[in-house]
Amino acid sequence: MSEEYGPDIVSVIDEEGKEHVFEELDRIETDEGRYVALLPVYDDPDEKIDDNGELIILKDEEEDGETYLCPIEDDEEFETIGRIFEDRLIDLYELEAESEEE
């Protein structure tokens, strides 16, 4: 299988300088801004087992020509964007499940 069809991996450095690696599951743009849904990627299988599977949803912002992924501070905005991602990902996985059954 060609590497070009692999997962999109995103590296994020937090405020404390620690690097976190994620797989990008989806990306959307609304009137409010651009957003990305991520899942953590782990090197250690034990960390993956302990993970709760929760999506990380961040806002894509630009400042001085640099792109930053930032937490969504507004609870209402977070809930709205979270529902959009949830609906889109459910639809995506239902389509894949139907394809696998055939």
Q: What is the pLDDT of residues 32-66, one digit of tens each?
A: 899 999 988 877 666 666 666 678 999 999 889 88
Q: Quick one: pLDDT band at residue 68, thresholds 50, 70, 90?
A: confident
CB-based burial of residue 40 (10 Å sphere; 0-12 exposed, 13-18 middle, 19+ buried)? Answer: middle
Strands ordered across the beta sheet of 56-63: 8-13, 19-29, 34-40, 56-63, 66-71
Q: Model confidence over 21-37: pLDDT tens digits? A: 899 989 999 998 999 99
Give how many domains the chain has, as a whole number. 1
In the structure encoding, which two tokens stand for residue 43, read together? 């090197």
What are the pLDDT digits (tens) for 69-85? 999 999 999 999 999 99
Question: By residue range, what is the domain housing residue 11?
Answer: 3-101
